[in-house]
A = this chain, B = another copy of it.
Amino acid sequence: MEFSSFGKRFTRPSGTRELMDDLGAAMSADEPVMMLGGGNPAHIPAVLQRLAGRLRELAGRPRELRRMLADYAAPEGELRFRESLAAMLQRELGWPLGPEHIALTSGSQSGFFLLFNLLAGRFDDGGFRRILLPLTPEYVGYTDLGLEDGLLTARRPAIETLPDRLFKYHVDFDALDIGPDIAALCVSRPCNPTGNVLTDAELGQLARAAAARNLPLIIDGAYGLPFPGIVFTDATPYWDENVILCMSLSKIGLPAVRTGIVIARPEIVAALGAMNAVLSLAVGSVGAVLLRDLVDSGELLQLSRDVIRPFYARRAEQAVAWLRDALQGVDYYLHRPEGAFFLWLWLPGLPVSSAELYQRLKQRRVFVLPGEHFFPGLAGEWPHRHECLRLSYAQDPEAVREGIRTLGEELRRLR
């Protein structure tokens, strides 16, 4: 059967697609695996209990139940949740927002598909504009979103080496050169895959650079601020009229509910609403109704601060200790874990590519993500691209520990 150009483009085999198939097969296999790949959040008991409690409450409240299940929402997403969220962000952070600044999407990824292709790509005047990723490594999911090739362009980072085999990526502002072909900037904060959290100073400088050229700055806060708040530094939440802040309910613990949140100027929110209407009639209301009371009461921020962040901070600490233990005698550097739930390992002079290392680990039932895929839009060869691994520490701790131990063995074999 022959597919259209669009069909071929969005069904073509890609590195990321292969990884996802691998992960899917691993998750549904009978044999246990050590899962350090994938982006599924942990099952935090206190969070799941609270969600179960909310379902019981809502089952007994007919009006909210209807809103959650039985009524199409507005194209921009369920109105009361957007009102509550705007009020909370106003109250807690002083952001001057109303519901007209908030659109929901069917998960963050759909939001990025809409935003990237709304702001960049082919224009009616024949021009072509791009999304600039000022700092790679960056999120693999951006890679294939463009309706045409070349939607993304990216820059290498500056690398700061730190004591104790740690390092940190920074935006290389000297090399940032924002040309006339740039439509918007985009950074994840915390960064998926590296766990890097842009400092307030860096983010401010990016925001000013974007504003000076009248370009939107997209901040992918799926793991970040103000919720789920998986940030271990003292970074501050940031929004201004020129910023498009993308948030999500996934990393709170609701990835199967598919609720992305975009906070932006009303013109952009209206455009997202229009696209939602044409492409999917409406977005779902389950996440919105499930969490609205927790937004109103401040409980969502409290959960983020007192439960979710400490949970992952402990996990990060554990995983780092295991890694240091397992990698003795190996030449490695670890990105300082500042947020999200990944360790980003740099293995300078690795004698095989990280893709090959991934295959070897897979043979031993250890699933990681090879670093190759996390440089979307970056032109040119650079050995660093093939020397990194992303390790999730969100899943079963014993499997993480054993996976890290196995990784150490493989790396020593490679010396």
Contacts and interface: CB of A to CB of B under 8 A. Distances in A.
Interface stretch (A139-147, A163-171, A229-237, A381-389): A139-147
Contact of A256 (B1, B120, B121, B282): B282
Interface string A266-279: 01101100110111
Interface in A268-302: 268, 270-271, 274-275, 277-286
Interface of A: 1-8, 10-12, 14, 16-17, 20, 24, 28, 38-41, 43, 48, 51-53, 55-56, 58-60, 62, 65-75, 78-79, 106-107, 109-110, 113, 117-124, 129, 141, 144-145, 147, 183, 253-258, 267-268, 270-271, 274-275, 277-286
A266 to B, nearest CB: 11
> So how many copies of this chain end up in the complex?
2
A59 B55 contact: yes
A10 B279 contact: yes
A129 B120 CA distance: 26
Q: Which of A75, A113, A122, A278 has the most CB of B within 10 A?
A: A278
A118 B12 CA distance: 12
Given A4-B120, A4-B123, A6-B117, A70 B254 contact: yes
Given A17-B274, A70-B43, A106 B280 contact: yes
Given A70-B253, A253-B70, A4 B121 contact: yes
B271 A285 contact: no
Given A8-B124, A40-B72, A110-B279, 4 more contacts: A4-B117, A24-B74, A48-B65, A106-B106
B6 A267 contact: no
Given A4-B118, A65-B51, A255-B282, A70 B41 contact: yes
10 contacts: A4-B119, A6-B117, A6-B118, A7-B275, A20-B75, A24-B74, A28-B74, A40-B71, A73-B256, A258-B258
A117 B147 CA distance: 12
A70 B282 CA distance: 22
Contacts of A274: 10-12, 17
A279 B254 CA distance: 18
Contacts of A71: 40, 255-256
B255 A70 contact: yes
A107 to B, nearest CB: 5
Which of A60, A106, A109 has its CB near the most chain B CB atoms (within 10 A)?
Answer: A106
Contact of A59 (B53, B107, B267): B53
A6 B122 contact: yes
Contact of A68 (B17, B53, B256): B256
Q: Which 3 A-B pairs have the closest CB atoms?
A: A7-B118, A256-B285, A11-B274
B122 A279 contact: no
Contact of A284 (B53, B72, B258, B267): B258
B6 A271 contact: no
